[in-house]
Chain A
Amino acid sequence: MSEVNNTRGNLWVNRLKKDFRASLAVVLLLCFAPLVVTTPYSFGILIVSIYFALLALGWNLLAGFTGQFSLAPAAFAMLGAYTTALLDYHLQTPLSIGIPAAIFGTAVLGWLLGRVVLRLTGPYLSLTTLSFAEIARVVVGNSIEFTRGDQGLNVPTLFENRIGYYYLFLMVLVATLVLLYLLMKSRTGRFWLAIRDDATGAESRGIDVVRYKTLAFSLSCAICGLAGSLYGTFSQLVSPELGLLMQTGLVISMVVIGGMGTLTGPIVGAMLVYLASEWMRDFGGIQMIVFSAAVILFARFLRTGLWGLASKMMQGKGKP
């Protein structure tokens, strides 16, 4: 049973402020990581963790804040990465245009997908987004003339050193957090929460559900597209594997374990799950079994995730 909180602290704006501060504290901790992390390999792991944190924040905007359970975040990361890569490969477009193009392209595709799934809920919505994700991955993989198929595409890099990338990813993470915080604090965020809790009720109050759902889809996909585009320039290679359903599974487990419908949860979840995934690499392919089991346990016993648990503990400490 959920905790009863009948104080002003339970007002959305106060919950959000506390959550935002905690998320910034996590980012601040990450800023100091180079003091203890020194090898390029470890930096690589941290950078990929932040890439997943961005995907998790993007997916959480849809699933956690708006109640739209999409199964396409990894597909949009792949599409973002390919937008930048294809522009470079075919038109030699510089990254200063290629990366914004990825954001714009995935935002438009997300808007279109949002329109398609507008009246769908629950499993029908998830299955439609899953179908879209698989179609996108298969099309990219099989359009050998255009995308070089499974061989992938090379992408120019933004920085030669990993520390530059690390701080670039951190800056993008902070910018995404600030954007999400401002949106969730505004009318738009409140309307998303209302749609999540009861779309019919929201409509009856005069909230334009169509407009706000498609906006959430578009923005969520743009965040994933940006993450994918940056990841492509970091790894200097994009391939259809970026859009594998398993990647989406990882993103979902990160958000569920960290705490859905929060800003801090997806970041904490992404760091923990990806670091644990790297650590478990030595034990064979058991990562997904462990994360799936963790998701079942969290869904059953701790729906608010780790951030929810931490908030509850802090709230308990604050009581006289």
Chain B
Amino acid sequence: MSLLRTEGLQKNFGGVAAVDDCSIAVEAGEILGLIGPNGSGKTTLLNILSGFLAPDAGSVWLADERVTGMSPVQLARRGLLRMFQMSRVFTRISAFDNMLTAGLAMGLAESEAESRAATLFEELTLTHVQYLDAGQLSGGQRKLLEFGMCFIAPPAIALLDEPFAAVHPVMRETMARFIRSRHALGQTFVLVSHDMPIIVDLCQRAVCMNAGRVIAEGATRAVLESAAVIEAYLGSSAHV
């Protein structure tokens, strides 16, 4: 049974179908790449999966539980944790306090959250800025911090929306290394990215969306080489 799956998801904004009859499945322990041109519905799909949007039709299943329409809090407590495209950290408290708050929100005891936070700061090479207010970190450091906050209590699935966008190459590599190491331990990821080399490097499978619909899915390389995906990214003249 898939760890996470959607069946016929539909979400319209006015007359526009942002997500249109979308059915995908995420297997336990895989890194699934979710790709597609801008406006293809990837973030809307993530918003539905993480409970920030309710679908107009269709359903979402986490293992054998129907979680359609559950709130972000209910889903977070079931281990569906999400990282946003524009980082959402708590800017007026220190980076360490951010991590600690994330741990407490997941039900960890304070001492446990502190020790895990310290380990995560080391793994993410952020120890040198851990006591700075999160608002004083660079954009990349904030992304790395939010990324780390998803892992203070290992999630069932980490939904990562453009984690590598506008991030310094060294930090990108830190993040990629972290994903590889957690994947080796069985962690499941859904990774939205426009960065194809990273998608190829990290993801075993990929799903490509365009105009709200799934236009290709399967092994990452096969998806990237499919005619429908090339056309979606480059236009129909790419075939000429």
Cβ–Cβ < 8 Å partners of B129 in chain A = 6
- A203 vs B105: C-alpha distance when bound (angstroms): 9
Residues of B within 8 A of A196 (CB): 90, 92
CB of A300 within 8 Å of the partner chain:
no
Instruction: Determine if B84 is an interface residue (Cβ-Cβ < 8 Å).
Output: yes
- A191 in contact with B101 (CB, 8 Å): yes
B104 touches A10 (CB 8 A): no
User: Can you name the residue of chain A whose Cβ is closest to the Cβ of B134?
Assistant: A197
Tell me, in angstroms, the Cα distance from A207 to B93 when the chains sit together: 16
For B76, what are the chain A residues with a Cβ–Cβ distance below 8 Å?
203-206
Q: Which single residue of chain B is at the shortest CB-CB distance from A185?
A: B110
Q: Which of A197-248 contact B (CB under 8 A)?
A: 197-198, 200-209
Contact indicator B92/A205 (Cβ below 8 Å): no
| Docked complex Cα distance between A12 and B84 (Å) | 24
We find that the number of chain A residues with CB closer than 8 angstroms to chain B is 29
A4 in contact with B72 given A190-B101, A193-B101, A206-B106 (CB within 8 Å): no
Find chain B residues with CB under 8 A from A11 CB: 94, 96-97, 131
Q: Is the CB of B89 within 8 A of A205?
A: no
Contact of B92 among A4, A190, A197 (CB under 8 A): A197
The answer to the question of B32 belonging to the interface, with a C-beta cut-off of 8 Å to chain A, is no
Count residues on chain B whose CB falls below 8 Å from chain A CBs.
Answer: 35
Given A201-B88, A204-B88, the answer on whether A187 and B131 have CB atoms closer than 8 Å is no
- Chain B neighbourhood of A6, CB < 8 A: 128-129, 131-132
Contacts of B19 in A (CB 8 A): none
**Least CB separation from A13: chain B residue:** B97
A38: which B residues are within 8 A, CB to CB? Answer: none
Residue of A nearest to B82 (CB): A204
Interface pair A203/B91, CB less than 8 Å apart: no
Residue in B88, B135, B149 with the greatest tally of chain A CB atoms within 10 Å: B88
A96 within 8 A of B: no
A119 in contact (CB, < 8 A)? no
Inter-subunit contact B72/A204 (CB<8 Å): yes
B77 within 8 A of A: yes
What's the count of A-B pairs with C-beta under 8 Å?
98
The 0/1 profile, CB within 8 Å of A marked 1, for residues 75-86 of chain B is 011000110100
* Residues of A with C-beta under 8 A to B81: 204-206
Task: Tell which of B72, B92, B135 touches A203, judged by Cβ atoms closer than 8 Å.
Answer: B72
Please report the C-alpha to C-alpha distance between residue A2 and residue B94 in the assembled complex, in whole angstroms.
13
Asked whether A7 is an interface residue with its Cβ less than 8 Å from the other chain, the reply is yes
Evaluate contact between A201 and B84: CB separation under 8 angstroms.
yes
Question: In the assembled complex, how far is the CB of residue A12 from the closest CB belonging to chain B, in whole angstroms?
Answer: 5
Give the CA-CA distance A31 to B232 in the complex, in Å.
Answer: 74
Question: Is the Cβ of A197 less than 8 Å from the Cβ of B90?
Answer: yes
| Bound Cα distance from A201 to B142, whole angstroms | 13
B136 within 8 A of A: yes
B131 touches A204 (CB 8 A): no
Bits for A174-193, please: 1 = Cβ < 8 Å to B, else 0: 00000000000001001101
Q: Does residue A281 face the partner (Cβ distance < 8 Å to B)?
A: no
Beta-carbon contact of B97 and A12 below 8 Å = yes
B35 within 8 A of A: no
B210 to chain A, nearest CB (A): 27
Nearest CB in chain A to that of B106: its residue? A206
Give chain B residues whose Cβ lies under 8 Å from the Cβ of A39: none
Contact pick for A190, options B100, B128, B133, B136, CB 8 Å? B100
B178 at the interface (CB under 8 A from A): no
Q: List 9 A-B contacts (CB under 8 A).
A: A5-B133, A6-B129, A11-B94, A190-B104, A193-B92, A193-B97, A197-B89, A200-B84, A204-B81
Chain B residues close to A by CB (< 8 Å): 50, 52, 71-73, 76-77, 81-82, 84, 88-94, 96-97, 100-102, 104-106, 110, 128-129, 131-133, 135-136, 146, 149
Residues of A within 8 A of B (CB): 2, 4-12, 187, 190-191, 193-194, 196-198, 200-209, 261
New A-B pairs, 13, CB < 8 Å, besides A9-B131, A11-B97, A197-B91: A6-B128, A7-B131, A10-B94, A11-B131, A12-B94, A190-B97, A197-B93, A198-B91, A201-B84, A203-B73, A206-B72, A206-B106, A207-B101
